Amino acid sequence: MKVLTLGCAGFIGSHLTGRLLSEGHTVTGVDIYQDKIMEFLGHKCFRFIRQDIRKPGLNLAELTEDADLVIDLIAYANPGLYIKIPLEVFRLNFVENLKIAEACVRHKKRLIQFSTCEVYGKTVVSIMKEDLVNPEDPRYATFSEDSSDFILGHLGKHRWIYASAKQLLERVIHAYGLEYNFNYTIIRPFNFIGPKIDYLPEETDGIPRVFSFFMDALISGRPMKLVNGGLHRRCYTYINDAIECIRRIIENPEGVCNKQVFNIGTPDNEVSIRGLAELMRDIYAEKFPKPGQRLPDIVEVSADDFYGEGYEDSDRRIPDISKARKLLGWEPEWKLKDLLEKTMQYYVTEYMDYYRSQGRSDISTHDIVHKAMEVIP
Ligand code: NAD
Ligand code: UGA
């Protein structure tokens, strides 16, 4: 199959590119960066177009026409950015992504669109806690693709612009399915972790996702910071499990994924952010001790101090994956401690060594954010 992958060099995209090529597909990939896909650049079935999709030069119509399948992963996907550059998050995650979806509609190509579990927003517990008999009941926090409602915060909490942009994109794609018989599959990932997730924040104002902050703290000895006490919970999924599910969605046996939404997540891997910090610190002390190195302190910070005004959080989110189990026979295998250990191993060894050997210790999320800021009109 000829696959057009937009955002092919990101965390998920880089793993997916490797998987697609290993299965014999021909891949055309588009991305601004290439650091995570260096190993594929010479592959005979891989064509890489280094291009910012917002800038002139990309012939989206021709690329779409030429593909059998389009996979769109492009987005700003780090919460720090939703606070700092909300308009640019909307423009990239909705306006630019809509152009890709509409190219697929025009050329009658199947689209796999990456959305997010953030569309589900907060739980009913976060707004009605006092009135509920058992607020800890996991059913309040378990989200299903075709029946759960979406609860987002008020306008002043502009973190939700990301979820809103993704939700609106989902709704428009769904409407094209209704009115134009457009064939799509929407994926809602629930906190994937694995090698190549984000960059470590080498500068204090770098803003990746929590794993990279904690990993950076462990390597540097700076404190691990718990936003608002670290009480919020997430379910973490290892990237290999996720890629296996995505592979089955791409395969689309008997069209079971046509016009469908899929959660991809691991319900059994739920942990509070405080629990995550403690577990990562324990694993680091046990598996990667460095002589004389002091383990970082775990400290509490307010969301305003950490992210700035406008931040609010999903309090708890557990994926209902019964649909992926039933339609795709998929089951995540990686347990939380194992996936953390595996990913930490990568950062402790390969990542640091690779960038040092390239003389590239300058690359950080901080740089990416500043590059992103440069293109804001
Ligand atoms: P990522 O930031 O690693 O990947 C996104 C890629 O898009 C990056 O390589 C980036 O360079 C590229 N990109 C951004 N702007 C671009 C532009 N203007 N032109 C060309 N390329 C551009 O993020 P990820 O974790 O791999 O996420 C991929 C998708 O999955 C995103 O849509 C994200 O919202 C969604 N998602 C991911 C997770 C997760 O657990 N990782 C969870 C929920 C949703
Ligand atoms: C993120 C992004 O919104 C999306 O990419 C995606 O939808 C989602 O991840 C996902 O991976 O599924 P979130 O889980 O909030 O959402 O992102 P993180 O930055 O990893 O934050 C997780 C939790 O850790 C939040 O409660 C945050 O406040 C907290 N945190 C973050 C800390 O306590 N300390 C830190 O140093 C960083």
In this structure, is the dihedral angle defined by the CA atoms of residues 54, 58, 60 and 66, taken in order, positive or negative?
negative
Beta-carbon count within 10 A of 26 CB:
18
Mean local confidence (pLDDT), 183-192: 98
Residue type, 128: M
Are the C-beta atoms of residues 103 and 53 closer than 8 Å to each other?
Answer: no
Among the bound ligands, the one closest to the CA of 207: 2
The verdict on residue 7 lying in a domain is: no
Beta-bridge partner residues of 40: none
HSE-CB at 273 with a 13 A cutoff on CA atoms is: 25
Residue 67, domain member (yes or no): no
Please give the pLDDT value at position 207. Answer: 77
Any domain includes 248 = yes
Q: How many domains does the chain have?
A: 1
- Distance CA(63)–CA(50), nearest Å, equals 14
What is the Cα–Cα distance from 245 to 263, expressed in whole angstroms?
10
Mean per-residue pLDDT over the chain, rounded: 92
pLDDT at 364 over 80: no
**CATH number, domain at 185?**
3.40.50.720
- Cβ distance 147 to 320 under 8 Å? no
Across the beta sheet with 2-6, the strand order is 46-50, 26-31, 2-6, 69-72, 110-114, 184-189, 260-264
- Under the banding of pLDDT at 50, 70 and 90, the label for residue 200 is confident
Q: How far is CA 210 from each of CA 19, 49, 65, 76, 225, rounded to the nearest angstrom?
A: 26, 30, 38, 15, 9
98 pLDDT above the threshold of 80: yes
Query: Phi and psi dihedrals of 339, rounded to 5?
Result: -70, -35
Q: State which amino acid sits at residue 24.
A: G
- Identify which of 194, 239, 231, 238 has the alpha carbon closest to the alpha carbon of residue 215: 194
Q: Is residue 334 part of a domain?
A: yes
pLDDT at 204: 35
CA 191, 245, 34 angle in degrees (round to 5)? 65
351 pLDDT above the threshold of 80 = no
Say if residues 221 and 254 touch (Cβ distance below 8 Å). Answer: no
Once rounded to an integer, what is the mean pLDDT over residues 254-275? 98
Q: Ligand 1: which atom is nearest the Cα of residue 10? A: 9
The angle, 0 to 180 degrees and rounded to 10, between the axes of the packed helices 239-251 and 11-22 is 60
Place of tokens 């720090």: 80
Q: Does some domain include residue 23? A: no
Mutate to test the pocket of ligand 2, among 196, 273, 298, 300 (most ligand atoms within 8 A of CB): 273
Whether residue 51 lies inside any domain: the answer is no
Q: Which domain holds residue 303?
A: 75-371
Ligand number nearest CA of 89 is 1
Residues of 136-169 as b/e, b for ≥16 C-beta within 10 angstroms?
eeeebbbbebeeeeeebbeeebbbbbbbbbbbbb
Q: Is 162 a catalytic residue?
A: yes
Residue 226: inside a domain, yes or no? yes
Beta-carbon-side half-sphere exposure of residue 231 (alpha carbons within 13 Å): 8
Please tell me if the CB atom of residue 218 comes closer than 6 angstroms to any atom of ligand 2.
no
**Ligand 1, residues 4, 12, 187: which to mutate, most atoms within 8 A of Cβ?**
12
Lowest mean pLDDT among 194-208, 235-249, 276-290, 335-349: 194-208
226 Cβ closer than 6 Å to some ligand 2 atom? yes
Residue 342 clears pLDDT 90, i.e. is over it:
yes
pLDDT of residue 357: 61
Catalytic residue among 76, 162, 184, 347: 162
Q: What is the mean pLDDT of residues 61-75?
A: 98
Answer whether 225 contacts ligand 2 (Cβ < 6 A). Answer: yes
In a domain, 109, yes or no: yes
User: Which of 6, 32, 236, when mutated, tests ligand 1's pocket best, judged by the most ligand atoms within 8 Å of its CB?
Assistant: 32
Instruction: Please identify, by atom number, the ligand 2 atom nearest to the C-alpha of residue 313.
Output: 26
Q: Which ligand is nearest to the CA of 165?
A: 1
Query: Is the distance from the beta carbon of residue 52 to the nearest atom of ligand 1 less than 6 Å?
Result: yes
Q: Which atom of ligand 1 is nearest to the CA of 118?
A: 43
Closest C-alpha to 336, from 209, 193, 202, 205: 193
Nearest to 347 by CA among 7, 6, 11: 11
pLDDT above 60 for 367:
no
72-91 pLDDT, tens digit each: 999 999 999 999 999 999 99
Cα dihedral across residues 95, 307, 233, 211: positive or negative:
positive
Residue 211 CA, ligand 2 centroid: distance in Å: 8
Query: 280, 344 in Cβ contact below 8 A?
Result: yes
Pairing assessment for the beta strands 237-238 and 142-143 based on DSSP bridges: unpaired
User: Which residue lies with its CA nearest to atom 43 of ligand 1?
Assistant: 116
**Structure confidence by residue, pLDDT tens digits, 323-334:** 999 999 999 999
189 and 12 Cβ atoms separated by less than 8 Å? yes
Q: Is 301 exposed, middle or buried (0-12, 13-18, 19+ CB in 10 A)?
A: middle
In the three-class reduction of DSSP (H, G, I as helix; E, B as strand; rest coil), residue 143 is classed as strand
